[in-house]
Structure 1
Amino acid sequence: MNGSDRGLSRRAFVRSAVAIGGASALAACLQREETEDVPQAALSPAELPDRQHAWNEFLATDDHGNIEPPEHHLLLGLEYVGDGPADADGEREQLEAAFRTLETAYKRGNEGLAFTIGYGPAYFDRFEADLPESVDLPDPEALAPIEDPELDEYDALVHLASDYGHVTLSAEEALKGELEEINGLEVEDSFEGVFDVAERRAGFIGSGLPAERQSGVSGIPDSEPVPEDAPMFMGFKSGFRKTQASEDRVTIQDGPFASGTTIHLSKIRLHLHQWYEQDSRDIRVSKMFSPTHADEGLVDGAGDNLGDSSRIAEVGGDAAEAARRGTVGHAQKAARAREDGEPIILRRDFDSTDDDAAATHFLSLQRSIADFVKTREAMTGSDLTEGSVSSRTNNGILQYIRVRNRANYLVPPRGLRALPEPNPDSA
């Protein structure tokens, strides 16, 4: 990964292998990547935080304190094999052993593995008892008149992330019961007989990675214009430290699922022909950030010069006024959903070329799904479209994206992550 042609080719190969999956892809990754440098766990499972989503303290950061997410990501949509409620203690012990295997085999973080498991409304509908009032987990739904997404109904979702493609693939194969050993340790148990993997989605994020993957991908112009330093297909940095909610802010505070969180997951197709072939850079900056960012030349390259903040709160100005003048920025609109000046969702999204189409898997963490809905409504900006801004054109980035799937999940604390009851206190 030293930036040489050979290194770039290897990185592109590994990302393709992660997208394909399976034993042959894993074997190929093991041949291409350095495996001896992947550390086993520094902490025992008992020493890890109770929050499954407590990743930040274990992840790399840049010079400005922004989190640098792992390069490779896998999402596994799971279906419970049984017909009724998941109530077998043996199954819970089996799953917990599988999770402990991963936690012991790999150090938590970029150089090892970070992962979570969440459970959807379809899983909890198997039980007679209801989720407690402290948990907000509605069925997914379309969140704007302009979208008609497929609504995922998987029982559970596993999110695997690492800087090494072979680590995510090894974790997947171990969970499926296809490996006896992982990173030098015996695999204790797996999902076999409890969950089937119904769908897998793969992706990547990081400087230069989208540019390597753009050739021949639907939604990207043939001229291959994605900037070489861009961490995502739309060309700009996201996830600035001051535009992200803290892990504390997205953590459920009360009830049996305290220390848990919720996930909203959207699969978004990108259509970037106009974005790159017709829109000027100033227009792209205006639509992604705000017109002021473009007018004052605040964004260099992908935006690394902005430091730890998009500067929306500082210079973005009033979104309604910008809309009346003709263009309002995506970040400018989304910032309206803040509470007490602070963001309310934590984004862990990444790009994808699944099915040879440019896409973003928008994965966000929030205390309640209502927090995501509030943020999404602010980003859609329907309340701003009565002036000179149409419902899509010059309204942030709406005209370049199509929401194809939506899903909601509850991520329990680690102590309840293996087939939780909907109301553990009463169980």
Structure 2
Amino acid sequence: MTLPDRSTLPRRDYLRTLVAVGGAGALAACLETVRNDAERTIPAGTDDPDSLPERQHAWNDALPTDDHGNVIPPEHHVLVAVSLADDVDPAGDASKPRETVESALRTLERAYEWSNEGLLFTLGYTPAYFARFDESLPESVDLPDPEPLIRGGNPEFDEYDAVLHLASDEPDVVLEVEEALFGDRETVNGVDLERDLTEVFEPLEDHRRTGFVGEGLPAEHTDVPGVPDSIPEEAPFFMGFRSGFRRSQATEDRVTIESGPFAGGTTQQLSSMDLQLEVWFEQDNHFQRVSKLFSREHAEEELVGDYGEALADSSGLTDERIESTTADARQYGVVGHAQKTARARVDGEPPLLRRDFNTVDGDRPGLHFLSLQRDIDDFVRVREAMNGENLDVPSANNGILHYVFVDRRGNYLLPPRSLRALPTPDPDADSE
């Protein structure tokens, strides 16, 4: 991709665009832009990577929170899809490739603080990776092949081996790490990278995905086709409202695998979606958007505010509002997305921990919906509740289904940190 013209873009938008482009040229341009910031430093990591949490997905304690206790996600995200090199067989003698992967990842942990100001990352593996082995995953791990999950849906599936998720508030950090692991850069935050990943993994450029989260960022992309001028300036997501409310998210404990050899890990679901924002903003008014995203009662009682700021730490879905979903469909001919999906709660608790982010990959507005859950079946139940096929409501008023289209979907196992380097389906047997 061609580098953007610095003179035509605000600084923040220019840096976001460089992350989307990627590569050595984008990194050089990014460093040239940020290096004159005298107050800016990238905090170093730890000399003892073993002191970091065993859970790869243990991000929340390392992230800041807002005034209501909601976790503030990192601003910049890169998803690097990879396949194993032709001469790497994880089912055979893979001790050297495993050592290479672990060495490279530990270097990142020494180079960058485990935080939004440094670097957070996970490495997850697909069902296709585990299909390379004769043995199956243990019963304690639910990792089926991805499915469409909606009538008439035909998404492509992630059938490569793994995905590396890089996240930071600093755009040059995610670019530097990607270029060091898969390109020609030899240092990360001043630390020599003794091993990169090119001998083990081949990055799949066509499946590289990027994105961003942050108040005001979506409104800075009205120059992108399909992004209307009417997005609220303060909104952190393209749909115009806040997300990730603390009380409407699963905890990291709730999504963690509790038993078996992969205890301490989790499963990850990744859906890449196209958003029809022009229809969402220009054909519907604020009252209708609130009704379709939250509930009719949210709209009537003005519970949300302009972009969700009035909701504090919860989506406001009480037991009564959830139970009224079917009645609202009959009475008003509309149901809310959050109202529908809340029907999949377990004992009143949300089963998913969302870490999704906006994207303009392909020069179109979209969403990379990334969720963590103990079992993929938890996500399937939420998605089926979102489909609302048992509700008597027109498709245009069935939550946000009319505006969101899934292009790709993938399921992943995020092993605990100690098993993240080319895991086998039965690590206990390997240690005997």
Structure 1 residue matching 2:240: 3-state secondary structure = coil
Partner of 1:125: 131
- Among 45, 49, 59, the alignment partner of 2:63 is 59
Q: What does residue 349 of structure 1 align with?
A: 356
Q: C-alpha distance in 2, partners of 1:394/1:45?
A: 50
Q: How does 1:159-178 map to 2 (within 5 A)?
A: 159-178=165-184
Deviation string, structure 1 residues 18-37 (Cα, Å, up to 9, x no partner):
00000010011111125751
Counterpart for residue 397 of structure 2: 394
Task: Find out whether 1:94 has 2:100 as its counterpart.
Answer: yes
Other-structure match for 1:3: none
- Alignment partner for residue 376 of structure 2, among 369, 372, 375? 369
1:321-369: CA deviations, max 9, x gaps? 1111200000000100101110001000001001101110000000010
| Sequence identity percentage | 55
Q: How does 1:129-278 map to 2 (within 5 A)?
A: 129-198=135-204, 199-217=207-225, 219-221=226-228, 224-278=229-283
Between the aligned partners of 1:400 and 1:243, the Cα distance in structure 2 is 22
Q: Which residue of 2 aligns with 1:112?
A: 118
1:313, 1:335 within 8 Å by CA — same for their partners in 2?
no
Aligned partners of 2:298 and 2:47: how far apart in 1?
Answer: 44
Q: Give the conservation status (yes or no) of the 8 Å contact 2:325–2:335.
A: yes
Identify unmatched segments of 5+ residues in structure 1.
1-5
Q: In structure 1, the residue corresponding to 2:42 is in which secondary structure? A: coil
1:70 to 48, 70, 74: 74
Question: AA paired with 1:144?
Answer: I
Name the SS for the 1:372 alignment partner: helix
Partner of 1:414: 417
Aligned residue number for residue 426 of structure 1: 429
Residue aligned with 2:235, SS:
coil
3-state SS of the aligned residue for 1:172?
A: helix
Instruction: Give the structure-1-normalised TM-score.
Output: 0.94
2:288 is aligned with what amino acid?
I
1:44 aligns with 2:48: yes
Where do 1:18-29 residues align within 5 Å? 18-29=19-30
- Name which of structure 1's ranges 286-295 and 27-36 shifts more when overlaid on structure 2: 27-36
| Bigger mean CA offset, 57-66 vs 300-309 | 300-309
1:265-323 deviation line (CA, Å, top 9, x unaligned): 00000012221111010000000100001001111121122110011126634111111
Aligned length: 414
Residues 92-121 of structure 1: per-residue CA shift (max 9 Å, x gap): 000001101111111111111100000001
C-alpha deviation, 1:43, in angstroms? 6.5
Tell me if the contact between 1:177 and 1:191 (Cα under 8 Å) persists in the aligned partners. Answer: no
Q: Which runs of 5+ in 2 are unaligned?
A: 1-6
C-alpha RMSD of matched pairs (Å): 1.4
* CA displacement at 1:177 relative to structure 2: 4.4
SS of the residue corresponding to residue 18 of structure 1 reads helix
Report which stretch shifted further, 25-34 or 324-333: 25-34
Contact 2:340 2:388 in 1 (8 A): yes
Matched, 1:378 2:381: no
In the aligned structure 2, how far is the partner of 1:110 from the partner of 1:238?
Answer: 18
Query: How far off is 1:82 after superposition?
Result: 2.7
Q: Distance in 2 between matches of 1:133 and 1:94?
A: 29
Q: 1:32, 1:301 → 2: CA distance? A: 34
Would you say the 8 A contact 1:293–1:316 is kept in 2? no
Name 2:3's counterpart in structure 1.
Answer: none
